[in-house]
Homo-oligomer: A and B are copies of this chain.
Amino acid sequence: MKREELVNNIQRKGSFLCVGLDPDIKKIPAHLLEGENPLYEFCRQIVDATAPYCVAYKPNLAFFESLVADGLRQLEMTVKHIRENHPDQFVIADAKRGDIGNTSALYARAAFEHMGVDAITVAPYMGEDSVKPFLGYEGKWVVLLALTSNPGSKDFQLLPVNAEGRRLFEEVILKSSEWAGPEEMMYVVGATQGRMFEDIRRVAPKSFLLVPGVGAQGGSLEEVCRYGMLPDGECGLLVNSSRGIIYASTGLDFAAAAGEAARTLAAQMATLL
């Protein structure tokens, strides 16, 4: 999906919500475990209930890979369901991959050619040749980790890397900007970072940001928008919520509850756009 189409979807729906699909076999409603494809069935119902209120889905591969081959099969089914029934949704494989060049090329092939997602999250530690194989696919995106939402983000991402006090996450954004423009690269910036969005916008003035950490992790939607939103309807944010939506209820009404939670969050977003 091209940037223009993503921006159009955001404006049309009045939402920049991304729903994180983290189907934990230990948390999904018990009645689904009787079927053959519980992760898929859980995701399918969540997707159908939330699609009117979001513009993107972010399946996290860890939750599918926890069942190894059987889980990846259900991930493929999930992506296919979204593609066929909700073609206006932007699909991000949350994989945090990154390896030497020839190996990253295989991860790219799996994500973009086999699974058919629009974007994949990539870890920057191994540098340019670990990221570049994900670039150059028409309409596909790299979502590079910059400043993450977890406590450990302070361990390395905030270290100063030059005499002027530039920090590692800023260096990651500046250097990777030489590899790809804001038409095919986004950055992960955790909602828990608040005012840091001002610093982010200094080094990434036009890029879309994928923002996890609203809800269960404690980030504030208002703060993210105040400091991170782009002007002129460009938005430049995809705010992700996972647990707050998909586990809104763990009973028979889980899908309806997820739809309601997504609707509520989207309504807040509409007022902020």
Contacts and interface: CB of A to CB of B under 8 A. Distances in A.
Instruction: Report the contact-size class of chain A (Cβ under 8 Å from the partner).
Output: 35 or more
A117 to B, nearest CB: 11
- One complex includes copies of this chain to the number of 2
A94 B155 CA distance: 23
Interface of A: 22, 24, 60, 62-63, 65-73, 75-76, 94, 96-101, 103-104, 106-107, 109-110, 114-115, 123-131, 145, 148-157, 159-162, 168, 171-172, 175, 217
28 contacts: A24-B106, A62-B97, A62-B103, A62-B107, A65-B106, A66-B107, A67-B110, A68-B72, A68-B76, A68-B110, A69-B71, A69-B72, A123-B126, A124-B125, A124-B155, A125-B145, A125-B148, A127-B153, A127-B154, A127-B155, A127-B156, A127-B157, A128-B155, A130-B152, A156-B172, A159-B161, A159-B171, A168-B168
Nearest to A63: B106
Contacts of A68: 72-73, 75-76, 110, 114-115
Contacts of A65: 72, 106-107, 110
Contacts of A114: 66-68
